Amino acid sequence: MSETKSAAKELREKLFMQRKNGFYRLSDEEAEACYSFCEDYKEFMDRSKIEREVVVYTLDLLKKSGYTEFKCGMQLKAGDKVYLNNRDKAVIMAVIGSEPIEAGVRLCAAHIDSPRLDMKQNPIYEDTEMAYFKTHYYGGIKKYQWTAIPLSLHGVVVKADGERVPVCVGEDESDPVFCVSDLLPHLANAQMSKPLAKGITGEQLNIIIGSRPFKDDEESGAVKLNILNILFEKYGITEADFISAELEAVPAFKARDIGFDRSMIGAYGHDDKVCAYTALRATVECEAPKHTVVTVLTDKEEIGSDGNTGLCSAYLEYFIHDLAEALGSNGRAVLSASECLSADVNAAFDPTFPEVNEKNNCAYINKGVCITKYTGARGKSGTSDASAEFTGRIRRLMDAQNVIWQTGELGKVDEGGGGTVAAYIANLDVDTIDMGVPVISMHAPYEIVSKLDTYMAYKAFAAFIAD
Ligand code: MN
Ligand code: MN
């Protein structure tokens, strides 16, 4: 009996796929390195809530790490580090490899925009002696989640004379915060009987910004007048200046450890800053790579990647062409030989909502960085679907570098779906696959990732870059 059992056990070990919690494989030293890495990540998250702030953080780190601004026609050699700032909302960085650039680049692409509430172009109004901002939400949100939580305001206002005024209110402990109201349950009979998607509408996502009237004035609009006066005194802006502004309301929460064991992190915008930060760290820590490394932190993914700072625009392609030219090659040949990790998050299995996932093909918290061969919806529509060969290559690389990884797709076949920038890069004739961190409560104001998975994403990107 016991002999048969051990033969079965042996066979099982040989033939079955291992899908264990990664902590069983992590040494104590590595667990410590993982937790310590995540302290840096949390600090980054608290400083970088919107794409423009990620760009500021990134440029600062790149300059400190010896990167210089890329200029067309500049002389480049192996080991040189350059960056391109796309309108303060996206960044490309590159480290020139020792191999000729025709051997292709190792490309990592993550996005740095996250779902949020954008201010409308004429946002400020007064109703019943309360002042408000009207918003137009950005990206896929469950609207009811954005009421009754503290919000901070980030972005930029361009004044009539062209002066650019940066805004960040609600992050410092001494700052005020803002809020969208919700109905009290006592009076919410009608609201509570609506479907969840209709409980709060887009036009109800109005942000409270004040209630005190301007003291010398009793005419209507005095609260709005008082707010505009405060804004004029602080920023020198008038109502018309909002027309040329990008103001974004995001949760005012700080990134915090979750759980008694501190194994997870709660924060706004893990999607996709968890992949942006890990790819950025892996890139700036890479010295003298074999292949030229190109990492892009892009904007606009959450609304479909259109616009000149999103990856449907040509800015990445132009950069590769210009880089190839600076190294005496041509961009077309470089792109065809290149490989890309589309570094984006996937949905983690949530035991509270098991019905939306197919348990054999979804990502789990703590089982490592997730490799996603295809995304899409309604029969793989809108995905690039990586080849078996490229998937095999990435799998071998992860195993060789001891990266804890798993595979998973986004939910059950007919449950919904989603996409990433993978398809846009693959369309440039680049071998591309999605890889990223599983997230619980994705697109909620407070998302959850595991520290182990985050650290493994960093290890995975570093392994890919160094290969
Ligand atoms: Mn994403
Ligand atoms: Mn997203």
Q: Which two tokens stand for residue 215?
A: 């003291």
Question: How far does residue 345's CA lie from ligand 1's centre (Å)?
Answer: 5
Q: How far is the CA of 50 from the centre of ligand 2 (A)?
A: 14
pLDDT at site 220: 81
Q: How many angstroms is it from 304 CA to the middle of ligand 1?
A: 11
> What pLDDT was estimated at residue 307?
97
pTM over 0.75: yes
pLDDT confidence of residue 221: 86
Ligand in closest contact with the CA of 303: 2
Q: Record the tokens describing residue 140, joined without a space.
A: 């896929």
In one-letter notation, the amino acid at residue 326 is A
What Cα–Cα distance (Å) separates residue 103 from each residue in 28, 226, 328? 39, 62, 13
Nearest to 144 by CA among 205, 208, 188, 207: 205
Q: How far, in Å, is the centroid of ligand 2 from the Cα of 302?
A: 5
Ligand nearest to the CA of 442: 2
Q: What's the pLDDT at 152?
A: 98
Say which ligand is closest to the CA of 302.
2
Q: Which of 181, 185, 119 is nearest to 155 (CA)?
A: 119
Q: Which ligand places an atom closest to the C-alpha of 421?
A: 1
Q: How far is the CA of 443 from the centre of ligand 2 (A)?
A: 6
Distance 302 CA to ligand 1 centre (A): 7
Q: Which residues contact 161 (CB under 8 A, 6 or more apart)?
A: none
Q: For helices 51-64 and 270-284, give the axis angle rounded to 10 degrees.
A: 10
**pLDDT of 83:** 98
> Helix, strand or coil for residue 23?
helix
Q: What crossing angle do the helices spanning 28-47 and 451-466 adopt, rounded to 10°?
A: 90
Ligand 2 centre and the CA of 134: distance in Å? 23
Q: Which residues of the chain have pLDDT under 70?
A: 1-4, 217
CA contacts within 13 A on the Cβ side of 5: 2
Q: How far away, in angstroms, is 159 Cα from ligand 2 center?
A: 31
User: Which ligand number lies closest to the CA of residue 112?
Assistant: 1
Kindly identify the ligand whose nearest atom is closest to the C-alpha of 444.
Answer: 2
Q: Which two tokens stand for residue 94?
A: 């590159």
The ligand that comes nearest to the alpha carbon of residue 140 is: 2
Cα(120) to ligand 2 centroid in Å equals 21
Please tell me the distance between residue 344's alpha carbon and the centre of ligand 1 in angstroms: 5
Instruction: For residue range 166-212, list pLDDT tens digits in order.
Output: 999 999 999 999 999 999 999 999 999 999 999 999 999 999 999 99
Q: What is the per-residue pLDDT for 114?
A: 98
Going from the Cα of 423 to the center of ligand 2, the distance in angstroms, rounded, reads 15
Q: 233: CA distance to ligand 2 center in Å? A: 37
Q: How far is the CA of 438 from the centre of ligand 1 (A)?
A: 11
Residue 98 identity (one-letter amino acid): S
